[in-house]
Amino acid sequence: MLKGIPAILSPELLKVLCEMGHSDRLVIADGNFPAESMGKAAKVIRMDGHGVPELLDAILQVFPLDTYVEQPVSLMEVMPGDNVETPIWNVYQEIIEKREGFGPEVIGHRERFAFYEEAKKAYAIIATGETALYANVMLQKGVVKS
């Protein structure tokens, strides 16, 4: 155990977050995301018993978002024809504002297959048990400033 580190952050996940450098990407994936096939070139960390919001909140306590790009956070767009509500996106915005002080302008949306292509280039993918649809979020790491 360590002081000041959220308990949900496993030693494996902390190691990966520490290994990541500026502009590396991290995907926090919902339970439907094909983490293993998308993550063939990435580190895949299984956290099936957890949801995306709780992990996002914990990660942003130790992980800086990139301030050198306009949108260091990406969400997967809802596919045309899918009648899906995405209230979880509002939860993400609240967490990002609380942890980083950024407004909604830092969140971009990528078409589903474009999101997959970017996810294949991610440093790591966290596979969660999140049941909300379109709950995948990609973070681009920034610089820790002292």
Asked about 30 being catalytic, the answer comes back as no
Asked about 116 being catalytic, the answer comes back as yes
Among 30, 50, 57, 66, which one carries the catalytic annotation? 66
Backbone angles phi, psi at 45, to 5 degrees: -115, 125
Within 8 A by CB and 6+ apart from 24, the residues are: 122, 123, 140, 141
State how beta strands 137-140 and 73-76 pair.
antiparallel
Asked about 66 being catalytic, the answer comes back as yes
Strand partners, 45: 126
Active site residues: 22, 66, 116
